[in-house]
Chains A and B, each alone.
Chain A
Amino acid sequence: MNHWIIAPVLVPLAAGALLLVFEWSGLAAKRVICVTATAALIPIGIGLMGIASGGEQQIYYVGDWPAPFGIVLVLDRLSALMLVLSSVLAAASLLYALGGDDTKGADFHALFQFQLLGINGAFLTGDLFNLFVFFEILLIASYCLIVHGGGPARTRAALHFVVLNLAGSSVFLIALGVIYGTVGSLNMADVAMKVAAVDVDSIGLVRVAGLLLMVVFGLKAALLPLGFWLPSTYRCATAPVACLFAIMTKVGAYAILRVHVLVFAGLPDSGFLLEAWLLPLALATVVLGTIGTVAAVELRATVSYLVVISVGTLLAAVGLFSQEGLAAAIYYLAHSTLVTGGLFLLSDLIGRQRGQAQDHLDRSGAVYQPVLLGTFFFIAAVAVSGLPPLSGFAAKLSILQAAQASTAAAWVWGVILISGLFVVVTLSRAGSAIFWSTGDVQGEPRPVRAIEALSTGGLFAGAVLLMLFGNPALEYSAATAKQLLDASSYVDAVLANEPVSIPASMRK
């Protein structure tokens, strides 16, 4: 049992608790603790990825309780990839926040660590109820982080977000109750095994539970009928918070991958439970996001709708339910998280230099550093709209290739390509409005700080690196998809502990 597996949960937990103890101390001390803990997560994540790429699931039995009775943490290729992604995004977002955004409200650093605790925990856990608990941890931290910085717009967005997610949590609990009531376990591997052998009377109930879980995860991921909270929430949040939230929709997508591809895969007579639902809803999400990007009048709103498009595209690839589709989805997930996160930071930089015009897409303001920000914007636009030569192109190409085998190929090709065209048009329009505003308008002399350029540029560099090392990245995604579809190896790995020795006093 490798104890490093629990480190991504323990490090932010300890740092967050420490930050609460040091609540009275100066800003410098808090920053040191927060930066140290966040920076430590990157090598830990990469190390775990090295272990996971060996191909075997690594299981951590918390408290050494045997599965399925205790809680297990499972490290496989997918969770390791998600850990690395969240640590990189968190590092960039924190670095950017050090530019002054962390002083705009109370306890930013502690909340930031608790948010990471919830996110990392959700990626690692192998237990459905524990997944609920980690979801609640990341949600309560995000409720507070949304209102960071204050103001009526943030309060209104937070109210919607909180009420929707509280309702979502209730649905989650109902689904868990149904699962426990029918199969008698909440350990994912155990449920996967028991679902495959469930008796005929209970199949309906298990399907209901699976679809209720899809409602919850769809709400988190902002899938179409449940995604209307996303644009206003992300647009209002402070830039580093919005950047960190780029991984939050991906938590929902991750949960769909983990629970519906793995746990409900063995359900008799139905293939994949979501086969009829996920693809149409995802494509409709892409359409809605595209309409939103075209209609948006602020850069941050445009970026929020780009997140909606990325969720739709990602889940459409998942909805193909083929190994190629999942591989493409996993590569696209890494690409879109980094690029949309960077775009939120970039829109904040642009908005700050344009004075009154902020990030409105009109010609009334100019940026102070057009070359630097223009270059960033160009790279981001090329990456996010899926043009060659950056990672977005490789990601979308592999999704389209994966769709060829599907009966819905025409729909997938049509929607994704036309949406891409509209995104190119919208971003060209946005870029020319912001950077080609001629005349006497001067930008506000608030130059970009080195750490801000580093964090924003670092995220876009991710898109370049994903392309430069495209072959290993795609191979990793393919291996991840293969591992994900091999549910029996997951079940065997988790349940392969020593038989439980029941103490004599407990025996009947």
Chain B
Amino acid sequence: MEALFSIAIGVLVAGGVYLILRARTFPVVLGLTLISYGVNVFLFSAGGLIADSAPLALPEIILHPDPLPQALVLTAIVIGFGMTAYAIVLALKANGELDSDRVDGDGEQ
């Protein structure tokens, strides 16, 4: 499971980096979103991956996952969602004001 997990994170982040380097606002926003997915999955695994464990910590259950990374990843998701929304609005504003969707704001070549 660790291998699957790390490959998934690697693919997400690599795709995100590629898209960010496209230097147009829409791919950049998508790339940032992909990276934040990868990071969220990574953060989720920070408490260790345990197969067949109970989802909750109850008194009679001995094997349960660490609840803290779940709280952290929830916070990170909410913050990432808000930031992405702002980035999209800003990209639209830039597209309108600069007449270009390139991140450096120069016109079409």
Nearest B residue (CB) for A158: B90
Closest to A172 in B: B39
Q: Which of A28-36, A53-61, A82-90, A159-167 contacts B (4 or more CB under 8 A)?
A: A159-167
Asked if B72 is at the interface of the complex by the 8 Å CB criterion, the answer is yes
Contact of A140 with B39 in the complex, beta carbons under 8 Å: no
By the criterion CB–CB under 8 Å, are A159 and B43 in contact? no
A136 near B79 with CB under 8 A, answer: yes
Q: How far is the CA of A166 from the CA of B68 in the complex (A)?
A: 23
Known pairs A133-B75, A159-B25, A506-B59; A167 contacts B90 (CB<8 A): no
User: In the complex, which residues of chain A have a beta carbon less than 8 angstroms from the beta carbon of B93?
Assistant: 147, 155
The yes or no answer to A104 lying at the interface (CB within 8 A) is: no
Q: Which residue of B lies closest to A143 (CB)?
A: B86
Task: Answer whether residue A3 sits at the interface, using C-beta atoms and an 8 A cutoff.
Answer: no
State the CA gap A506–B59 with chains docked (Å).
6
The digit string for B27-41, where 1 denotes a CB below 8 A from any CB of A, is: 010001001100110
Residue of A nearest to B62 (CB): A508
Cβ-defined contact, B105 with A156, below 8 A: yes
Contacts of B62 in A (CB 8 A): 508
Chain A contacts for B94, CB-based, 8 A: 155-156, 159
Is B43 touching A163 in the complex (CB atoms < 8 A)? no
Q: Report how far A143 CA is from B82 CA in the complex, Å.
A: 12
Contacts of B104 in A (CB 8 A): 156
Which residues of chain B are near A439, meaning CB under 8 Å? none
How would residues 113 to 154 of chain A score, 1 for a CB under 8 Å from any chain B CB and 0 otherwise? Answer: 000000000000000010001001001100110010001100
Size bracket, chain B contacts? 35 or more
Q: A151 CA to B93 CA in the complex, in Å?
A: 10
Q: Report if A94 contacts B (CB, 8 A).
A: no
For B14, what are the chain A residues with a Cβ–Cβ distance below 8 Å? none
Roughly how many angstroms separate A166 CA and B40 CA in the complex, as a whole number?
14
Q: Is the CB of B48 within 8 A of A180?
A: no
CA distance A1 to B39 in the complex (A): 37
B55 CB-CB contact with A under 8 Å = no
A174 & B39 in contact (Cβ 8 Å cutoff): yes
B26 at the interface (CB under 8 A from A): no
Q: How far is the CB of A342 from chain B (nearest CB, A)?
A: 30
Question: Is A170 part of the binding interface, using a Cβ–Cβ cutoff of 8 Å?
Answer: yes
Contact of B87 among A166, A177, A178, A505 (CB under 8 A): A166
Interface digits, B79-100 against A, CB 8 Å rule (1 contact, 0 not)? 1101110110011011001100
Q: How far is the CA of A169 from the CA of B87 in the complex (A)?
A: 14
Partner of B48, one of A143, A158, A181: A181
- Chain B residues within an 8 Å CB radius of A163: 20, 28, 32, 87, 103
A180 near B105 with CB under 8 A, answer no
Query: In whole angstroms, what is the CA distance A210 to B108 when docked?
Result: 41
Q: Report if B69 contacts A (CB, 8 A).
A: yes
The CA of A139 and the CA of B47, in the complex, are separated in Å by 28
Interface size class of A (residues with CB under 8 A): 20 to 34
Give complex CA distance A166, B59 in Å: 40
Contacts of A169 in B (CB 8 A): 79-80, 83
A173 interface residue per 8 A CB criterion: yes
- Contacting A at CB under 8 A, from B62-84, are 62, 68-69, 72, 75-76, 79-80, 82-84
Contact pick for B72, options A167, A178, A180, CB 8 Å: A180
Interface pair A180/B47, CB less than 8 Å apart:
yes
- Contact partner of B32 (CB less than 8 A), chosen from A133, A143, A166, A181, is A166
Q: How far is the CA of A156 from the CA of B42 in the complex (A)?
A: 32
- Does any Cβ of B come within 8 Å of A223's Cβ? no
Q: How far is the CB of B79 from chain A (nearest CB, A)?
A: 5
Q: Provided the pairs A133-B75, A180-B46 are in contact, do residues A173 and B82 lie with their beta carbons within 8 angstroms? A: no
Contacts of A308 in B (CB 8 A): none
Chain B residues near A147: list those with CB within 8 A.
90, 93
A136 and B76 CA atoms in complex are apart in Å by 10
Q: By the criterion CB–CB under 8 Å, are B69 and A180 in contact?
A: yes
* Residue A176 interfacial (CB < 8 Å): yes
Known: A140-B83, A143-B90, A180-B68. A155 touches B42 (CB 8 A): no
B35 contact set on A, CB distance < 8 A: 167, 170
Contact of B91 among A129, A159, A173, A506 (CB under 8 A): A159
CB–CB A155/B90 < 8 A: yes
**A129: which B residues are within 8 A, CB to CB?**
72, 75
CB distance from A405 to the nearest CB of B (A): 40
- Bound together, the chains give a CA A176 to CA B45 distance in angstroms of 12
B32–A167 touching, CB < 8 Å: yes
Closest chain B residue to A178, Cβ basis: B46
Residues of A contacting B75 in the complex (Cβ-Cβ under 8 angstroms): 129, 133
- Least CB separation from B29: chain A residue: A163
Bound Cα distance A151, B104 (Å): 15
Give the top 7 A-B pairs by smallest Cβ distance, nearest first. Answer: A177-B46, A156-B105, A181-B46, A177-B43, A180-B46, A152-B97, A170-B39
Can you list 10 A-B contacts with CB-CB less than 8 angstroms, sorted by A residue number?
A: A136-B79, A140-B83, A152-B98, A155-B93, A162-B83, A166-B87, A167-B32, A173-B39, A181-B46, A181-B47
Q: A129-B75, A155-B94 are in contact. List 8 more A-B contacts (CB 8 A).
A: A162-B83, A162-B86, A162-B90, A163-B103, A167-B32, A170-B39, A177-B69, A181-B45
